[in-house]
Chains A and B, each alone.
Chain A
Amino acid sequence: MGKGWIGKVLRVNLTEGTCAVEKLNEAWAREYLGGRGLASKYLCAEVDPGVDPLGPENKLIFAAGPLTGTYGAANGRYMAVTKSPLSGTIASSNSGGYFPSELRYAGYDLIIFEGKSPRPVYLQIHNQNVKLADASQLWGQSTDRTEDLIREKFHGDAKVACIGPAGERRVLFANIINDKHRAAGRSGVGAVMGSKNLKAVAVRGNGGVEVADPQGYRTAALDSYGLLRNNPVSGQGLPALGTAVLVNIINQSGALPTNNFQFDTFAGAEAISGEKLAETYLKRNKSCLGCVIGCGRVTRLSGAAYQGSGEGPEYESIWALGAACGVSDLAAVTKANYLCNEYGMDTITAGATVACAMELFEKGLLSEAEVGMPLPFGDGAAMVKLIELIAKNEGFGQKLALGSYRLAELYGAPELSMSVKKLEFPAYDGRGLQGMALQYATSNRGACHVRGYLVSPEILGLPEKLDPQAIEGKASWTKIFQDFTAVVDSVGVCLFTTFAIGAPQVTRLLNAATGLTLDEEALLVVGDRIWNLERQFNLRAGVDPGQDTLPKRLLDEPIPDGPLRGATARLAEMLPEYYRLRGWSADGIPGEEKLKSLGLS
């Protein structure tokens, strides 16, 4: 295997209790790079898309990229790839911190988990020494406690990724937490891990990552750093206020979904903003490995109502647990965020599901008796209580643990679930941002902002300012963003760097690391290939193109307030062009010719 990749895959059969090292498929690595792309290729080759996501036939793949563990562009990322129990689509959840790089220093690019362990176990990796260890003492423990216990027992310097009680109890949006506060957050990857009785993966690696052209790599890295430092978002906004810098920006733009998308401006936004967080609970800023941005926020709560410490809340969490629920109590939002991290579940879906329940309550479809308490929008204490009930999968929390789509369906109002393909929206209303609307509808994992962050041109003006309400050209922008993001997710680079660096910089780093000789165009073809591969998985899993749509509220109900008042998502006007640009049929099916050109037929 060339440089950049380690060239090794660790295959763990949980049913048999065996661990084996195999060679990384070199041809696949060249075509899919690593991370999201390469793991998706393995998943598609080895798993029938029709499997029960929580059954032993589903596999869970941890995948680093060829740049993970190096410097240059915040290269500390990995992907957890599997079939999602929440959406039934292919899932690929990204996280940073220190764990992903340690996996590479231990000598592996990917870990493939298959089968199901008869009892709770965790994986110990100390370089070439790998074994499954008993996790009966860890089962039921919070994510931060699990890490501490593993470091005590296994290795003091081990980096850990684990599930909390939410994953053990198969909350459909349970996540995988690493380094205590970093989350492979969306799509319920933690529930899949729980279904396999796999509590944690602990790694200590004393090796390193080599690159093909060290001098070229160093120069490329320094150039990227320059761009990252001089960019207003990656060099100023994110370091100063973290992702929560967006609360005021998006609210002022009139695209901050409030009270389950009934409004798009929130009177309490200032009270839950990044500025407010910096004044109140922020202790200090923190980076992931190799990152020059440092958007992490270490916080501490020591008020009368709520106590705790941890990282965040991030922007999306602040929105989901705050504005989406009409909650303007930053202490309650921060506490709920800690609970989500400690129990191990996605803050976005958790908050959005509570918001959905609040609207069901408001509309009289859900009674106080059923919830066990009144559930009006704006009630921070009720929101925190429900988050705890979800995490423990107790009482009314059991229904919320299914996510907003199944909850709303249960009460006869599926249209009140603000989701696409059963994955809840993040913190930007697609009615206000037409590019985001198209991206939400077509994203391979449902309503997700990190498959194509059109917010960047539509609101932040990077790489150039687009009119958020215009539809012209949005199909093309969406495709390019989706394809490039697929590459970024596959090489091991943080998406946040892409405010400042683009295909030229990523191509240079990738080529210098691996010895590949791709040009920018070829790099985007890789992204297109990954996108189509995921699409094929979804189609075979029964997620038909009819689901490339948005909730009725976004399509038919104009925004009632704020600067974008009157806007609806003009999806029908953009979708045909998008399908055409993708080379798909008018029904959204990738044709034989298209697939052949990508080497997918």
Chain B
Amino acid sequence: MQKLIRIEPSKCVGCKSCELACSFKHRGMFAPSRSRIVNEVFLDEAKFITVTCMQCDEPWCLKACPKGAIGKDAVSGVVNVDEVKCVGCRTCVSACPFGMITYQESSRKADKCNLCAGDFPECVTFCPTRCLTFSEEDKPLREKVLRFVNTMKDGQGEV
């Protein structure tokens, strides 16, 4: 199974620590608008949604790249941009339906989350509420299922 950043939106408090940590590590500055991971705050609804690249099995960006600059690592499953091959044409930016690959003015290349390229993901390190975890097992999914079955269990009379 692939190791991924797992996201549990109900645990998010909208602190943007993930964006701060990501931009500080990868851009050398605290710059939320340049972060690879996005923590969106909806003030009125009091909802906080975090999204990042989920390293698709069949990535749109990979398929769209005319230079073959995007590959999916067979072992880690990470979808990577080869900066040598990338010509900065932004085709991948158009292709990704989630907006999770961007064009960086500074490098003039495509840029996306690579799960910190083998380091432990910085956003997960700095997440204060464990809204973000990094695991092979989809624990948030298991927690959801458990909540559901516990509801069923509580409603069940003695047999």
Most B CB contacts (10 A, CB to CB) among A179, A208, A211 go to: A208
Cβ of A209: which chain B residues have Cβ within 8 Å of it? Answer: 29-31
Asked if A286 and B46 make an inter-chain contact with CB atoms under 8 angstroms apart, the answer reads yes
Chain B interface size, under 10 / 10 to 19 / 20 to 34 / 35 or more: 20 to 34
- Is A582 an interface position by the 8 A CB rule? no
Asked if A208 and B30 make an inter-chain contact with CB atoms under 8 angstroms apart, the answer reads yes
Cβ of B21: which chain A residues have Cβ within 8 Å of it? Answer: 71
Interface segment among A189-197, A287-295, A381-389: the answer is A287-295
Shortest distance between the CB of B8 and any CB in chain A (Å): 13
A209 to B125, alpha carbons, bound, how many Å? Answer: 20
Interface segment among B9-17, B70-78, B89-97: the answer is B9-17
Asked if A287 and B14 make an inter-chain contact with CB atoms under 8 angstroms apart, the answer reads yes
Most A CB contacts (10 A, CB to CB) among B27, B46, B125, B126 go to: B46
Asked if B43 and A181 make an inter-chain contact with CB atoms under 8 angstroms apart, the answer reads yes
- Is B64 an interface position by the 8 A CB rule? no
**Chain B residue with Cβ nearest A74:** B15
- Is B81 an interface position by the 8 A CB rule? no
A157 to B32, alpha carbons, bound, how many Å? Answer: 12
- Is B20 an interface position by the 8 A CB rule? yes
Shortest distance between the CB of B5 and any CB in chain A (Å): 18
Q: 0/1 per residue, B101-130, Cβ < 8 Å to A? A: 000000000000000000000000110110
Shortest distance between the CB of B124 and any CB in chain A (Å): 13
A12 to B60, alpha carbons, bound, how many Å? Answer: 47
Cβ of A218: which chain B residues have Cβ within 8 Å of it? Answer: 24
A286 to B129, alpha carbons, bound, how many Å? Answer: 11
Shortest distance between the CB of A284 and any CB in chain B (Å): 6
Q: 0/1 per residue, A22-46, Cβ < 8 Å to B? A: 0000000000000000000000000
- Is A446 an interface position by the 8 A CB rule? no
Cβ of B20: which chain A residues have Cβ within 8 Å of it? Answer: 70-71, 289-290
Query: Contact check: which of B13, B31, B41 meets A285 at CB < 8 Å?
Result: B13
Interface residues of A (CB under 8 A from B): 69-71, 98, 101, 105, 144, 147, 157, 179-181, 205-211, 214, 218, 221-222, 225, 229, 283-292, 294, 296, 298, 309
Q: 22 A-B residue contacts at CB 8 Å?
A: A70-B20, A105-B33, A180-B43, A207-B29, A207-B31, A208-B27, A208-B30, A210-B29, A214-B24, A221-B126, A284-B46, A285-B13, A286-B13, A286-B46, A286-B48, A288-B15, A291-B13, A291-B15, A292-B128, A294-B13, A294-B128, A296-B13
